[in-house]
Chain A
Amino acid sequence: MTTATDVHAHDDHHEHHPAGIMRWLTTTNHKDIGTMYLTFSLIMFLVGGMMILGVRAELFKPGLQLMRPEFFNQLIGVHALVMIFAALMPAATGFANWLLPLQLGAPDMALPRLNNWGFWLLPPAAILLTLPFTLALFGIGDGAVATGWTLYAPLSVQGGLGVDFAIFSIHLLGISSVLGSINIIVTIFNMRAPGMTLMKMPLFAWGWLITAFLLIATIPVLAGAVTMLLTDRHFGTHFFDAAGGGDPILFQHLFWFFGHPEVYILLLPVWGFIPHILSAFTRKPVYGYKAQVYSFWAIGILSVVVWAHHFLTVGMPVPALLYFMYSTMSISLPLAVLFFCWIANMWKGSMSFETPMLFATGWIILFGIGGLTGLVLADVAADAQYHHSYFVVAHFHYTLFAGGIMGVMAGVYFWLPKMTGRMYNEKLGKLHFWLTAIAFNMTFIPQFFLGLAGMPRRIPDYALQFADFNMISSISAFVLGLSQLLFVYNIVSCVRGHGEKAADKPWEGAEGLEWTLSSPPPYHSFTEQPVIK
């Protein structure tokens, strides 16, 4: 966290910001807002994690032990919504706020007041999403949204008031990310230091630029789809209600027209992190910068034309199936380019394995498994067996937990010394990595096999033959959950000013404008823009 005491002679008038809670409510400073985003993200990560530990506890043994199936359904759906919209997306936005001005040589984000509003929409959205749990305790309604995060009609048309809460929560989250994206695009286009052309921009900025474009193009589609759901539920329209001539499959098309780009919205900022980290700890420049930028674009564009592979079994005609299969598989080409660039970056580098590098290398392997299992699912013939099974659950956790959250963790360890001015505890950091990586694999590898054996997802009970693998998966999930406390400890102790003081450039191989500033950076980053030659 930045301290408020960095006094600079030329921006005195900015230094008298309010203290206490008013500082955070009214701040327009990119670092303060970034800090709030990251804090919110960490809290919601733990909340979403606790929800799924409830689910894993129920799945520890066959039969119903701990909860009603309705409550189980609520937990899995809200877990996904919380992790995607309230943990992973705000983490990426938090990093964008913190790092983009530092990396681009800008004094702040382009639209600071919009930025503040963008953040403060998030806490009400999170409350809306989880409030029905509390209301149900007082006998109001029947709990949170129980449709799974995909909100498929007709189930969501018939669901209880939790669905309405989720719809309004999604509206707020959507507005927040659209505002954040506008701000990021404007910052990237207008606020770069003189001499920093687009093709000299750090890859993190490139990843976020494409993410931001995807967000403003697809979030309105999700907002529109859930609004139609709302009018179907309460105002007598029949967009998705077959009784009035609507079509529930239309909802799936609308949802995944947003939902598939969303995957890359979550991943592109992380793909931006990784080259920075690999380059720092291999002491080599970023390999294949241009190839990576073009691959980002290729994947961003392809991501909006492949949506129906999420419901290949819905009964589409063969030509449509073939189109969605081949277009989906074609994404693996630019993605393979990225993988080769990351691996080539390490080739003959003088590597050292500090915590961020451990997370980055582990990330490459685990995200690779996520990508390859995705290819299996894209195969129309194979998907008929794997669809809606635990294979899918394992696949998307390899892409979104390993590929998303572990990538974010790599970034946290890499930039935490810059943000807080303190070094984290390296031993605990490494322990955190190994516990996370091992427990993660032990949680989800059994789920691949459960899925292959035919265990369906989103069901609170299962047949006896699945018992052993579920037990392994549940125990590992608890280890995975508990080991995140090390992560929290490391962050909190840095923020509270424990640990060694960090140098301005704590990693000898690191490159980029952010390392030219002090650790932690002054309240206003670059009051005079650096010139890039």
Chain B
Amino acid sequence: MNAEDRALANRKLVKKLLWVIAGAILFTIALVPLYNVMCQVTGFNGKTGNSAEQAAKSMKVDNTRWVTVEFTSNVMPGLAWTFYPKQTSIRVHPGQIELATYVAKNIANQEVIGQAIPSVSPGQASLYFKKIECFCFQRQTLKPGESKEMPLTFFVSPDLPKQIETITLSYAFYSAVK
């Protein structure tokens, strides 16, 4: 190979490799939506879907089984609220629609908007934990010193795998962002 041919061959190969790098960058960007879709479809990482009204209509209550649903709460740094569940746990039959209530209070001296982010563990249960109405569907606004009861209507799908007897629902309240 003479010098010119070699320079040409080098340039060609460099171009190909740059395409590989461009592909890797695109792949990285694509991973973000792929990851979210993957989590919603499989329930990995405790991500729950949103409203479940449709499923609730055509469902039978499984009276032979009890499932314990536990409630926990966190307030993230940057949000001057207190936030806790009124009940620490409820025993439910799969398929039965239940109401749980959290209480939030703004202890800051200004109006604050918060957003609750739910997480269900074990992760496998998150596909079967359905929320019909939830304070986490919208942002919540509290005036200075205001206290509010925040309701949550949910059911556990009768398809819940047999080995799961306890489901923990955790809410993290964040200061809502622009």
Contacts and interface: CB of A to CB of B under 8 A. Distances in A.
Which range holds the interface residue count of chain A? Answer: 35 or more
Interface string B59-83: 0000000000000000011000000
A221 B27 contact: yes
B9 to A, nearest CB: 5
Secondary structure at the B interface, as helix, strand, loop or mixed, is helix
B42 A253 contact: no
B128 interface: no
Contacts of B21: 178, 216, 220
Contact of B35 (A111, A220, A250): A250
Contact of A242 (B9, B32, B117): B117
B6 interface: yes
Interface stretch (A185-193, A295-303, A359-367): A185-193
B17 A190 contact: no
A435 B99 CA distance: 68
B55 interface: no
Given A190-B9, A316-B123, A320-B44, A242 B25 contact: no
Contacts of B13: 185-186, 189-190
B24 interface: yes
B86 to A, nearest CB: 24
A181 to B, nearest CB: 8
B17 A186 contact: yes
Contacts of A247: 35-36, 39, 45, 47
A191 B6 CA distance: 8
Interface string A238-259: 1101111101011001100100
Given A190-B6, A228-B32, A243-B176, 9 more contacts: A191-B6, A216-B21, A242-B117, A247-B47, A315-B121, A316-B44, A317-B43, A317-B123, A318-B124
Interface in A394-424: none
Interface string A307-331: 0000000011110100000000000
A163 interface: no
Contacts of B42: 317
B174 A243 contact: yes
B24 A218 contact: yes
A6 B176 CA distance: 69
Interface of B: 1, 6, 9-10, 13-14, 17-18, 20-21, 24-25, 27-29, 31-32, 35-36, 39, 42-47, 76-77, 115, 117, 121-124, 172, 174-178
Interface in A141-170: 158
Contacts of A225: 28
A224 interface: yes
B17 A220 contact: no
A182 interface: yes
A220 B9 contact: no
Given A110-B10, A242-B117, A236 B178 contact: yes
Q: Which 6 A-B residue pairings sit nearest by Cβ, starting from the closest?
A: A243-B174, A224-B28, A220-B24, A220-B25, A221-B28, A110-B10
Nearest to A221: B28
A22 B7 CA distance: 26
Contacts of A181: 17
A244 B17 contact: no
A23 to B, nearest CB: 24
Given A242-B174, A243-B176, A243-B177, A186 B14 contact: yes
A217 interface: yes
Nearest to A185: B17
B44 A243 contact: no
Given A182-B17, A185-B13, A243-B115, A254 B31 contact: yes
Contacts of A317: 42-44, 123-124
B20 to A, nearest CB: 6
A243 B14 contact: no
Nearest to B24: A220
Contacts of B43: 317
Nearest to B22: A220
Contacts of A228: 32
Contact of A236 (B9, B14, B35, B177): B177
A76 B47 CA distance: 33
A185 B31 CA distance: 27
A182 B58 CA distance: 59
Given A247-B36, A249-B45, A316-B44, A217 B24 contact: yes
27 contacts: A110-B10, A111-B14, A181-B17, A182-B18, A185-B17, A186-B14, A216-B20, A216-B21, A216-B24, A217-B20, A220-B21, A220-B27, A221-B24, A221-B31, A223-B25, A224-B28, A236-B177, A238-B177, A242-B117, A243-B175, A247-B36, A247-B45, A249-B45, A315-B123, A316-B44, A317-B42, A317-B124
Contacts of A239: 32
Nearest to B126: A317
Contacts of A236: 177-178
Contacts of B47: 247
